[in-house]
């Protein structure tokens, strides 16, 4: 997004194959880690929880909230969770 808005470069798959593959790989790792963390408590219901969180909360948040506000909320959230687990 930085390159597209600030540097006025065309952002598409052909220009950013590595970044696209890295994002997909990290998304898969995060999904697996989330599944692994919840499996002990919820069992097979973990699949439903993943779908509800992924499509019901995260996707809607990414589509409806501007990027700059997502960054602010993410920074505040990560700071909060880091303080909770120290």
Give the model's confidence band at 62: pLDDT under 50 very low, under 70 low, under 90 confident, else very high: confident
- Residue 34's domain spans which residues? 2-84
- The number of angstroms, rounded, from the C-alpha of 25 to the middle of its chain's C-alpha atoms is 12
How does pLDDT run across 1-54, given as a tens digit for each residue?
Answer: 677 777 777 878 888 889 889 988 998 998 899 899 999 999 999 989 988 888
SS3 at position 77: helix
pTM, whole model, 2 decimals?
Answer: 0.62
Q: Which pLDDT score is estimated for 32?
A: 92
Q: Which pLDDT score is estimated for 71?
A: 92
SS3 at position 61: helix
Q: Which pLDDT score is estimated for 57?
A: 87
Cβ-contact 61, 54 below 8 angstroms: no
Distance, CA of 63 to CA of 9 (rounded, Å): 22
Tell me how many domains the chain contains: 1
Count helices and strands in the chain by DSSP H and E runs: 5, 0
């Amino acid at each position: 997004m930085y390159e597209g808005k600030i540097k006025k470069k065309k952002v598409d798959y052909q220009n950013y194959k590595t970044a696209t593959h890295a994002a997909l790989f990290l998304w898969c790792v995060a999904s697996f880690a989330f599944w692994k963390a919840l499996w002990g408590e919820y069992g097979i219901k973990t699949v439903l929880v993943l779908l509800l969180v992924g499509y019901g909360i995260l996707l809607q948040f990414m589509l409806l909230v501007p990027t700059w506000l997502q960054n602010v909320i993410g920074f505040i959230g990560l700071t909060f969770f880091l303080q909770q687990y120290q």
